[in-house]
Structure 1
């Protein structure tokens, strides 16, 4: 018995891609038969979907036979010639696929295996690696838009680096980010290659290695997102501080001391803003290990209400609190719960400054051993463009200088540390609603009188109120 042929085939009866090995059964002449073995490649394709970028496997005819993008499957990079079309028509390795060529064009070769290509009118970075013992190629596609944005941010940072020493550190961080991104792309390509080989040889062991690469790539992506946000938040006050400092020097020469004092006061305010940013970043990175204790929810709400009382009075916002039963308690950490409540109430007050009716409502009920606290307002609601990214760092609807976009991120992290969840949605009749779900201090089986109905008033139905 000897190995005859191997190949890729889309079987019409199953429509599942596979790797085929065939063995000729010979004992003298003629050949007595052929044994074919199929290795299912769907698991490898599912593993690729967790990797950064789009992964594609290209066969010897230049046809994409596996991909994390459905629109690329069974499409050649270039049109097939007459001989290839005749062979495909005879053997039907791709089933009934139309083999519509991709809109593919090479624009720039960066390395032997790295090039900039145009796919469907979009510039992408294509990293290609040939497979051992097979005339196939593994390719990873990365969108060039984030890389160009990072390059533009680096140029802006470099132009300001001579003014403030802190900007030098930001510029170095941006350069390190570019290096880390390149390493992450190479790691993703290696992980995809290892995943394919593991499918044919020993899939379990190689998948563990791929998981480690995925964790590393995820950390690098998070670091890159945070670096861009921090650079943006630092650049604005630092640029303004330089302008005010130069202006103060000119005003001092003209003996305009009151104007100089005003500039220095504005500089102090910007320094305070930078201090708040660094403080919130420390909170964002810190995970509290303090034990959870029973806390009366009414008292926690009253403490948070006292913190926002002045702002509510200034903007004529009425606050309504409805906790049933009044003795309702949650398992939480006191400082963390107070910070979350104060932040949600302060955001609601800010959102209603221009609203004709200004009412902040806090309602809490016990549901199956959990405390559901809803914080709603009568403001304009959350903008549809911001709502899906509401809990991402540096995402805010407030004007420049009024918010850093970290409050909700930190609040969500604090709630998760207390074994809870924080969600948000817009109400049908106007306004926004934030839902805090925390474990109750004393779990009960049945809801007490006056609690939320088990289905009709859940978070999923708040938009229909």
Structure 2
């Protein structure tokens, strides 16, 4: 009667020990796996934070730059001027399209919107008063406005940057740039984790899970709702709480249990503050995989120990086989731990590599901009070098003539023939003015240009370019025709850089027609609905089929070896692109047969920014007209 009781007690004790060991294994494995999950969440959190900060830093300095624009200051000075307001609307719309911002608008000192990029939309901001927004209050007090909210007019989410508009030291209004963070939010979707960003009240306004958007981590108090209502951050949205069924700590990790649509999920949450915006960014990873893995490991251990106990109870001689089985299980466990460690290490290396690549790309962009500026200046100096011999001949001729007139003037003065001597001195002064004009154009051409765009008189730039290339044109015996109507509008650009483009095109055209039967080159300019079109047409051999798509590539040249680096057209193309225009190769349509035509399309300058001024060192008497330069010998 005692033996069944002993066996029963032994079985119960063995089962209790097995369950206790399984529970301990499960607990320890889960703690370790939760730690691994948290480390993976920290890496994901870093990447998500970098993406969010990168989008914000891209726009944070733009409001103060736009606020310093003369047109913005003009409307700040006279907000009721309809002409200035219309120009400001179109200027802000152009900047908004160019930068990819959501909206850009100007508010006067009372908070009323006077100009906006969406002036032609169904619900424009113009006339709306947004003085209740914190970004207005901070900016009007001289600080930097920062605020995230739903637009009260558009109903769209956005992050607002505000900057004060100062006129003569006084703050006359606020310039606001609104950006859209939807692209960042979309990049977080589709992964095995959830990313969300909350405001100081704990309201979720960015989330990779659309169902969590505009909910609160905890139920909002009346005080919190009053604070949100004061600034109308989320308009009239109800802002319910997330369906959190439980929240607790395990192994130093914060775990949340959410019930959605009758399904319960447990998440491990890691968070990090974004201090400059007073936000908190969180990454939530589902713990189901970690619990399943820990449970599987505990089951394996329990199964192994149970089999070992059963085998030991049945036959003692199989202890060796059971020990081998346990060793295999322990090896599998160690291998699993090693794989988890290696995977974590690999993720850390990938993260470091990504940060290094981002830094390298930023450095490469800076180097590319500096290289482009250096190539522009090098192209001009190379052109000056190519023209040096012809310019030397161009200057030596007036010098020789001036010497002859001076010698004759001395003889005439000795013979008391003063009128004739005065005539000779007048001719000498004319020759000196001609040489001064040539050297002035060369200094202007060689000078490194200012990067700021302004209104440019195309007729004066064309005349300066012809003055510089005149020796080369005469050496090639070019028949040059210039057709410039007298009422051409000013264009947006830089006179020195536009002059460099025309010098390049004229030099290329002279090279193309030199030695041919038809050495005619034509320069024409015509107004277009959006600006001005300049055409440089030659009658040389033209561009061979298949090459027009490559002629603007750097270091591509159709000239012989030693006759150019192939950078002229590439530099000219980028200069015109900087002006907001376009340089293209067209097909001549004048019925004259072969040849090449290069077309420059430029935008009209803003009327308020188009003063009647000439390019640097350009002659004062350069009037646009239609002229013909006959073919001459060098």
TM-score category, normalised to shorter length? 0.3 to 0.5
Larger radius of gyration: 2
Report the TM-score, using the length of structure 1 for normalisation.
0.36
Q: Which has the higher helix share?
A: 2
Report the TM-score, using the length of structure 2 for normalisation.
0.27
